[in-house]
């Protein structure tokens, strides 16, 4: 499986070529990533007309920000998402109603005591928003483990549900053991003790349950949305290591 990585401002998107010369795009970026996203497509010589499906790992602002722009370029692209993403996408704001809002303590401190007063981060912008997206008839809602071939994607692999970061998180595990996890794992800000968790979680127990699922599916290489790819052994080694005490509720 050849994964083409498209790094945007903070989100890694992925393109995978299918045997019939189409591309599957995984995720988009923030709404302000449009220009860089287009540049990346040009760099890899991929046109919007060549994209057949867009798999959205979850509804958050840094993943869904460009859905409308992309659909405008090619309305034939089918967006694949968890059935739980449908309503969340219409709100235009990251969901915090499912027992969530936990953020890494050191990162929270950095944001609220250091960066926000310096106005490097507009704290008000942090109730994270994105252009609302209304699911269309030809989009595909996933409910339970689903083979890619069953939803018209000519690749060997399956979509599994991996909640914990958000209720609607899904991952793609290919039969060759590569796994695109969205924010179900991450490889960033290790100094803050993230231990391969993304900095914000809904439910830490659910998150680790999803890791166990990914490990049980025999994943070998993990491709996160944030940070460089890493071996699945890191998940095995770090399971449970990021403690609830390391997380605070974000304001
Ligand atoms: Zn997210």
Task: Encode pLDDT of 168-219 as tens digits.
Answer: 999 999 999 999 999 999 998 877 778 999 888 888 899 999 999 999 999 9
Distance 8 CA to ligand 1 centre (A): 14
Q: What is the pTM of this model?
A: 0.92
Only one residue has tokens 């859905």, namely 67
DSSP sequence for 48-72: GGGEEEEE-S---HHHHTTHHHHHH
Specify the pLDDT at position 100. 63
What's the 20 CA to ligand 1 centre distance in angstroms? 31
CA 143 to ligand 1 center in whole angstroms: 19
CA of 62 to the centre of ligand 1 (A): 7
Looking at the chain, the number of H-run helices and the number of E-run strands are 7, 15
Residue 183 C-alpha to ligand 1 middle, in angstroms?
5
> What is the distance in A from the centroid of ligand 1 to the CA of 180?
14
Neighbours of 127 (CB within 10 A): 12
Q: What is the pLDDT of residue 118?
A: 55
CA gap 143, 84 in Å, rounded:
8
Counting every residue written for the chain, the total comes to 251
Nearest to 190 by CA among 248, 249, 230: 230
10-residue averages of pLDDT along the chain (251 residues):
92 97 97 97 97 98 97 98 98 82 77 62 64 98 98 97 96 97 92 84 92 97 97 96 77 58
**Cα 61 to ligand 1 centroid, rounded to whole Å:** 7
The predicted pLDDT at position 120 comes to 52
Confidence (pLDDT) at 5: 97
Average pLDDT, the chain: 91
Measured in angstroms, how far is the CA atom of residue 74 from the centroid of ligand 1? 25
- Ligand 1 midpoint to CA 201 (Å): 8
Q: What pLDDT score was predicted for residue 116?
A: 58
Distance (Å) from CA 54 to ligand 1 centroid: 16
List Cβ neighbours of 110 (8 Å cut-off, separation of 6 or more): 192
Order the strands of the 102-104 sheet from edge to edge.
200-201, 102-104, 247-249
Rounded to the nearest whole angstrom, what is the distance from the C-alpha of residue 95 to the centroid of ligand 1?
10
Give me the residues near ligand 1 (ion), CB cutoff below 5 Å.
Answer: 60, 183
Nearest Cα residue to 78 out of 60, 51, 58, 38: 51
């Amino acid at each position: 499986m050849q994964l083409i990585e498209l790094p945007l401002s903070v989100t890694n998107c992925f393109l995978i070529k299918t045997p019939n010369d189409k591309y599957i795009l995984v995720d988009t970026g923030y709404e302000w990533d449009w220009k860089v996203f287009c540049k990346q497509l040009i760099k890899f010589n991929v046109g919007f007309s060549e994209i057949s499906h867009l798999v959205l790992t979850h509804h958050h602002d840094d993943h869904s920000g460009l859905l409308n722009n992309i659909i405008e370029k090619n309305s034939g692209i089918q967006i694949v998402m968890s059935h739980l993403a449908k309503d969340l996408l219409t709100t235009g704001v990251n969901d915090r109603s499912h027992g969530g809002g936990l953020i890494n303590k050191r990162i929270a401190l950095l944001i609220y005591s250091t960066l926000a007063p310096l106005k490097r981060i507009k704290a008000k912008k942090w109730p994270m928003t994105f252009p609302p997206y209304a699911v269309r008839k030809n989009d595909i809602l996933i409910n339970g483990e689903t083979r890619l071939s069953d939803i018209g994607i000519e690749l060997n692999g399956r979509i599994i549900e991996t909640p914990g970061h958000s209720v609607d998180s899904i991952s793609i595990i290919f039969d060759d053991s590569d796994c695109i996890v969205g924010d179900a794992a991450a490889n960033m800000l290790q100094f803050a003790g993230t231990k391969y968790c993304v900095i914000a979680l809904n439910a830490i127990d659910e998150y680790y349950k999803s890791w166990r699922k990914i490990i049980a599916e025999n994943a070998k290489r993990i491709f996160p949305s944030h940070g460089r790819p890493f071996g699945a052994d890191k998940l095995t080694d770090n399971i449970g290591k990021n403690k609830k005490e390391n997380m605070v509720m974000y304001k």
